[in-house]
């Protein structure tokens, strides 16, 4: 039951920033079908419809997710497909009240179909600028290295990202590290993150979802993140959590991902309230709606319906997401005034 002081304002109308959304995973099922048809590609039944990761708790896990993600990524080939993914991500986020979207991509995954890594990144950045104008949501790009590739590749990506650094639409706003936390040796990516920071690109690596606080501490120490992708398992070490909060590291919390990957059994097990109780800056994210079948507004609905946050606290989460974004200070102030207006509405 919702709290009595929850006025049940429209979640979609709440101005917010979306800071954890992956490129291929951002697609709707309809977009995936469109791109697959263009390639005469047959999708497996598990991916083509229904809930592909709707499995018993003890059968969930990363490998099932990664296999399906790889199939979906194979449908994204060529300039038109890259532009379609960016445009649809912007349109769908705008429809959910996003003022700022920071879309995360490893351009290496799409390079072969457009002539190279830089060509892929240029197409994505150009479309992000155009889609921002069309849909009224500011789309920044996060360039992310992958743990399944060599750390030297990450240094190359960091240099490509550095040439396109900025706060505005279509500019690269941060540098990340994604894929299975169990892969690779985290300190080996330290140099790539240093290259990015020197160019003014904050670090936003994944950590603290599949692995616990011991690995999360390595991510914090070696990669010096401004935000952490997930980070929920910091609650298992309150001293680490408090130190991250003290350093101003924001948490990109993606409840649907945590449940679908088997980190937690149910959404109410996701430690959102614990993070907030420790003073953490939390930005809710959808991660990979294509596979998790849950978009950004759904995460806010879960915060209301499952964690019983009233509208005042939901507005606080929206402000946190805006503050944790890498938009300009002027844009942040404007969007937070929009949040105040939402809260003042009846």
Give the lowest-confidence range in 44-48, 69-73, 265-269: 44-48
Going by pLDDT thresholds of 50, 70 and 90, the confidence category of residue 7 is low
Query: In the prediction, which pLDDT does 1 show?
Result: 37
188 in active site: no
Average pLDDT for 61-83: 95
Tally of domains within the chain:
1
Half-sphere exposure of 167 (CA within 13 A, CB side): 11
Query: In the prediction, which pLDDT does 318 show?
Result: 98
296: left (phi over 0), alpha (psi -120 to 50) or beta: alpha
Q: Which residue has the higher pLDDT, 240 or 55?
A: 240
Going by pLDDT thresholds of 50, 70 and 90, the confidence category of residue 52 is confident
Average pLDDT for 59-83: 94
Please state, in angstroms and as integers, the Cα–Cα distance from residue 258 to each residue in 245, 254, 277, 315, following that order.
Answer: 21, 6, 19, 23
CATH of the domain at 152: 3.20.20.140
| Residue 8 forms part of a structural domain | no
Query: In the prediction, which pLDDT does 2 show?
Result: 42
Of these residues, 209, 217, 236, 305, which one is catalytic?
A: 209
| Residue 3 forms part of a structural domain | no
Average pLDDT for 67-84: 97
Average pLDDT for 216-243: 98
Q: Is pLDDT of 5 > 80?
A: no
| Residue 10 forms part of a structural domain | no
**Three-state DSSP class for residue 6:** coil
Quote the domain boundaries for residue 235: 16-344
Q: Is pLDDT of 167 > 90?
A: yes
Q: Which residue has the higher pLDDT, 31 or 4?
A: 31
Q: Which residue has the higher pLDDT, 59 or 132?
A: 132
Per the prediction, the chain carries an average pLDDT of 95
Average pLDDT for 317-343: 98
| Residue 92 forms part of a structural domain | yes
Q: Which residue has the higher pLDDT, 153 or 56?
A: 153
| Residue 258 forms part of a structural domain | yes
To the question of pTM greater than 0.85 for the whole model, the response is yes
| Residue 202 forms part of a structural domain | yes
What is the sign, positive or negative, of the torsion defined by CA atoms of 304, 306, 309, 314? negative
| Residue 21 forms part of a structural domain | yes
Average pLDDT for 164-170: 97
What percent of the chain has a predicted confidence (pLDDT) above 70?
Answer: 98
| Number of C-beta neighbours around residue 329 at 10 A | 8
d(CA 309, CA 11): 12
Parallel, antiparallel or unpaired: strands 250-253 and 282-284: parallel
- pLDDT (tens digit, 9 = 90+) per residue, 249-275? 999 999 999 999 999 999 999 999 999
What values do phi and psi take at 191, rounded to 5? -65, -40
| Residue 1 forms part of a structural domain | no
């Amino acid at each position: 039951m919702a709290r009595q002081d929850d006025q049940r304002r429209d979640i979609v109308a709440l101005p917010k920033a979306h800071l954890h959304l992956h490129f291929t995973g951002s697609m709707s099922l309809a977009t995936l079908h469109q791109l697959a048809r263009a390639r005469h590609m047959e999708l497996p039944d598990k991916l083509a419809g229904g809930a592909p990761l709707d499995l018993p708790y003890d059968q969930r896990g990363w490998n099932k997710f990664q296999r399906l993600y790889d199939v979906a990524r194979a449908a994204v080939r060529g300039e038109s497909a890259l532009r379609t993914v960016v445009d649809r991500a912007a349109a769908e986020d705008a429809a959910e009240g996003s003022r700022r979207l920071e879309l995360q991509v490893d351009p290496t995954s799409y390079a072969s179909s457009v002539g190279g890594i830089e060509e892929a990144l240029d197409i994505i950045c150009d479309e992000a600028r155009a889609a921002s104008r069309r849909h009224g949501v500011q789309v920044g790009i996060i360039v992310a290295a992958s743990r399944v590739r060599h750390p030297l590749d990450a240094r190359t990506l960091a240099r490509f990202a550095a040439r396109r650094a900025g706060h505005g639409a279509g500019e690269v706003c941060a540098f990340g590290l994604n894929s299975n936390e169990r892969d690779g040796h985290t300190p080996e990516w330290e140099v790539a993150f240093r290259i990015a920071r020197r160019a003014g690109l904050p670090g936003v690596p994944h950590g603290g979802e599949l692995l616990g606080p011991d690995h999360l501490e390595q991510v914090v120490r070696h990669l010096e993140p401004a935000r952490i992708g997930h980070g929920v398992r910091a609650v298992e070490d309150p001293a680490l959590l408090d130190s991250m909060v003290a350093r101003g590291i924001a948490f990109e919390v993606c409840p649907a991902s945590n449940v679908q990957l088997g980190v937690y059994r149910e959404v109410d097990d996701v430690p959102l309230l614990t993070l907030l109780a420790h003073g953490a800056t939390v930005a809710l994210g959808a991660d990979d709606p294509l596979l998790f079948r849950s978009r950004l507004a759904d995460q806010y609905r879960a915060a209301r319906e499952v964690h019983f946050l009233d509208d005042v606290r939901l507005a606080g989460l929206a402000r946190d997401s805006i503050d944790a974004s890498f938009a300009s200070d002027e844009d942040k102030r404007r969007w937070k005034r929009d949040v105040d207006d939402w809260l003042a509405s009846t």
